[in-house]
Amino acid sequence: MSLSRCAAKPAAATGSRRSPSGLLQAWLPKLVLAPSIAISLFFVYGFMLWTFILSLTGSRMLPSYDFVGFAQYARLMANDRWWVASSNLVIFGGLFVAICLALGLLLAILLDQRIRQEGALRTVYLYPMALSFIVTGVVWKWLLNPGLGIQAMVRGWGFENFRFDWLVDPDMAVYTLVIAAVWQASGFVMALFLAGLRGIDDSILKAAQLDGASLPSIYWRVVIPCLRPVVFSAVMILSHIAIKSFDLVVALTGGGPGYASDLPATFMYAHAFTRAQIGLGSASAMLMLGGVLAILVPYLYSELRNHRHG
C-alpha cells in the first residue's frame, strides 16, 4: 500500500551516490520502518478519520454513508445517558486521580524512611497493577456485595446497622468504581513517586536540615516541589486510564443500577455494538478522543522536546 511510497522518498536522496549494496543498506532502515509507518497511518490515523466520518452519518446497525452533518453530536448533547456518563467520568476521574496521587505520595514517603522489608511491601502495593480490570471488578463486586461481602461481615461483628451497599445504590455506584480503581493503580503511583524520591539530590536535603528545617517542612517545601514532573506524568497516565475505563465498569457495576454508573467508554460500546446506533457511538468516541487530546497535547509536547535534547 503506502509501503513503497514511504520508503522510496527519503532513500532516493541518500542512495544515489552509493554502490548497489550500499543502496540496499541505505534503504533497509526505511524499509524496516515502512510497515509500521503504514500500519500507524492506516490503523491509527485512518481509523480516527473513519470514525469521524461515521459520526457524521446516520449509521445504525451497519455503517452507511448518508451524511447528516453534526446531527449525531446534537443528539448526543440531548442524550441524558451521555450526560450521566460524562459527569460520572468527571467524578470518577477526579477522585481516582486525586486519591491515587495522595495515597501514592504518602506511601512513597513512608516507604522512603529506611523501612525493613521495603521490597516486600512494595511488591504487595504494586501487584494489583498486574491484574486485569475484569479480575479486579469481579473481586470487588464480591467484596461490595451487600448480602455476602463487607457489609455482611461488619454486621456479623455486631454492628447491625452498618450500611455499605454502594454497589446497588444508583447515587453511590460510581464511587465503587473509584474504590476498585484506586486499589488497582495507587501502588503504581507509589512506585513512580518512590523512583522520583530516590532521584532527588541529597545535598539539597542536607542543606535544608542544616538550616534547621523540620522533617515535615522539608518534605512540604523542598521534596514535594522537586516531584512536580512525577506528578505531571502520574496525572497524565491516571487520567488516561480513567477516560479509557471500560472493563472495570463492565465487570463491577455493568454500568448499573440502570445506567447510573455508565462512563463514556461503556456508553460508546453499548451504542455502537449492542444498541445499533453506530453514528451516535462514533460521535461519542470522537468526544472521548477530544478529551484525551486535551490532556495529551501538553504532555506529548514536553515529552518530544525532552527527546530532542536527549
Q: Is the CB of residue 235 less than 8 Å from the CB of residue 97?
A: yes
Q: Which is nearer to another protein, 56 or 243 (CB)?
A: 243
The DSSP secondary structure of the chain, one letter per residue, reads --HHHHHHHHHHHHHTTS-HHHHHHHHHHHHHHHHHHHHIIIIIIIHHHHHHHHHTB--SSS----B-TTHHHHHHHT-HHHHHHHHHHHHHHHHHHHHHHHHHHHHHHHHTTT-TTHHHHHHHHHGGGGS-HHHHHHHHHHHH-TTTSHHHHHHHTT-TT----GGG-TTTHHHHHHHHHHHHHHHHHHHHHHHHHHTS-HHHHHHHHHTT--HHHHIIIIIHHHTHHHHHHHHHHHHHHHHH--HHHHHHTTT-STTTT--HHHHHHIIIIISS-HHHHHHHHHHHHHHHHHHHHHHHHHHHHHHHH-
Q: Which is nearer to another protein, 74 or 138 (CB)?
A: 138
Instruction: Report in angstroms how near the CB of residue 74 gets to another protein at its nearest.
Output: 20
Instruction: Report in angstroms how near the CB of residue 176 gets to another protein at its nearest.
Output: 13
Which residue of 65, 67, 83, 142 would you call a contact of another protein, by CB under 8 A? 142
Q: Which is nearer to another protein, 103 or 178 (CB)?
A: 103
Instruction: Report in angstroms how near the CB of residue 131 gets to another protein at its nearest.
Output: 5
254 binds another protein (CB under 8 A): yes
Stretch that binds another protein, among 47-55, 76-84, 89-97, 161-169 (CB under 8 A): 47-55
Q: Which is nearer to another protein, 170 or 233 (CB)?
A: 233
262-281 residues near another protein, rule: CB under 8 A: 264-265, 268-269, 272-273, 278, 281
Q: What angle do CA 47, 53, 55 make, to 5 degrees?
A: 105
Instruction: Report in angstroms how near the CB of residue 104 gets to another protein at its nearest.
Output: 11
236 binds another protein (CB under 8 A): yes
Q: Which is nearer to another protein, 174 or 253 (CB)?
A: 253
Q: Which is nearer to another protein, 94 or 119 (CB)?
A: 119
Q: Is the CB of residue 281 less than 8 Å from the CB of residue 273?
A: yes
First-last CA distance in the chain? 34
Instruction: Report in angstroms how near the CB of residue 132 gets to another protein at its nearest.
Output: 4
Q: Which is nearer to another protein, 71 or 171 (CB)?
A: 71
Which residue of 67, 163, 258, 303 would you call a contact of another protein, by CB under 8 A? 303
57-116 residues near another protein, rule: CB under 8 A: 63, 103, 107, 110-115
Stretch that binds another protein, among 76-84, 85-93, 160-168, 181-189 (CB under 8 A): 181-189
What gap in Å lies between CA 21 and CA 54, rounded to an integer? 47
168 binds another protein (CB under 8 A): no
Which residue of 5, 18, 163, 206 would you call a contact of another protein, by CB under 8 A? 206
Identify the bridge partners of residue 57 per DSSP, sorted by sequence position: 67
Neighbours of 92 (CB within 10 A): 22
159 binds another protein (CB under 8 A): no
Which residue of 40, 64, 87, 217 would you call a contact of another protein, by CB under 8 A? 40
| Binding-residue total with another protein (CB under 8 A) | 119
244 binds another protein (CB under 8 A): yes
Q: Which is nearer to another protein, 57 or 84 (CB)?
A: 57
